[in-house]
Amino acid sequence: MADFASMLKYLREREHLSQRELASKLNLSPSTIGMYECGKRHPKYEDEEAIADFFNVDLNTLRGKRIIEENPERITKALNLLKAYEDATPDRRAMVDFALTPPQQKPELPHLH
């Protein structure tokens, strides 16, 4: 089941940000982000809104609610994929990252003659 902590970590890693980088962008301490991701602390409403705005998601998505309510099997599959990604080698992660990069952001490959 997704929750705020796992969604925050997922969104942060999706944007290739360290906890320190995200904390800096949100004017929070890195330890605060770490505690959010471990589920030891929950943000104030204003901070939660700022996090949702930063990642361009609504609060229900950030809290893991909307996805679960709409399709619990889908979120379970997504979390299993995230776990597999976390356990993957750097080379496999790079392949997944490249595959998920929008075409307009992919580096242009040299033309072979």
The structural domains of the chain, with segments of one domain joined by +, span 4-92
Contact 39, 3 (CB under 8 A): yes
Please report which confidence band the pLDDT of residue 87 belongs to, taking 50, 70 and 90 as the band edges: confident
Look up the CATH number of domain 4-92.
Answer: 1.10.260.40
- pLDDT on residue 29: 95
* Model pLDDT for residues 44-75, shown as the tens digit of each residue: 999 999 999 999 898 888 888 765 455 677 77
How buried is residue 37: exposed, middle or buried, by Cβ count under 10 Å (0-12/13-18/19+)?
Answer: buried
Please report which confidence band the pLDDT of residue 1 belongs to, taking 50, 70 and 90 as the band edges: very low
Please report which confidence band the pLDDT of residue 41 belongs to, taking 50, 70 and 90 as the band edges: very high
